[in-house]
Amino acid sequence: MRIAIPVWRKSVSTVFDSANRLIIINFEAGRIKDRSKIKFIESTIISKTARLRELGVQVLVCGAISRPLVNMITASGIKVIPFVRGTVDEVINAYFNDCLPDNRFVMPGCCQGEWIGKKRGWRYGGGKRGG
């Protein structure tokens, strides 16, 4: 499985739409196989989505993301887990330990959505207010 997380310094970028770096994590046989940091300089929702597909990303864990972009990414078959905050290492650990729905990882003031499990993904925009 390939997971992408947009980064700013050591934390999840606040807004995916303007992120210019990604951490790509390859997860195999129950553990992290490798991770790499790449430039992500695409400027349109079409090019951003195409780049994620090109990279083989299956799950995008990110901060805030615009509705048109999340719609395009999910339509391309990539699961999106939005409105996440924290350091990259904390978020990776939380994801793999099924702890990502914990309030400490939810961006304040953002729609939390409804967590329905890491294997099924995130239902965007349908839930409670985070805080």
Closest to 104 measured CA to CA, from 12, 17, 24:
12
In whole angstroms, give the CA distance from residue 39 to residue 10.
Answer: 15
Bridge partners (DSSP) of residue 15 are: 64
User: Are the C-beta atoms of residues 109 and 65 closer than 8 Å to each other?
Assistant: no
Domain containing 65: what range? 2-129
Q: How many domains does the structure of the chain reveal?
A: 1
Q: pLDDT at position 119, please?
A: 39
In whole angstroms, give the CA distance from residue 24 to residue 61.
Answer: 10
pLDDT in tens, 5-47: 999 999 999 999 999 999 999 988 878 899 999 999 999 999 9
Q: What is the CATH number of the domain that holds 46?
A: 3.30.420.130
Q: pLDDT at position 109, please?
A: 67
pLDDT in tens, 60-101: 999 999 999 999 999 999 999 999 999 999 999 999 888 888
Closest to 112 measured CA to CA, from 126, 100, 99:
126
Greatest CA span in the chain, whole angstroms?
A: 36
Q: pLDDT at position 75, please?
A: 96
Which residue in the block uniquely carries the two structure tokens 């864990």?
61
pLDDT, mean of residues 118-130: 40
Q: pLDDT at position 123, please?
A: 47
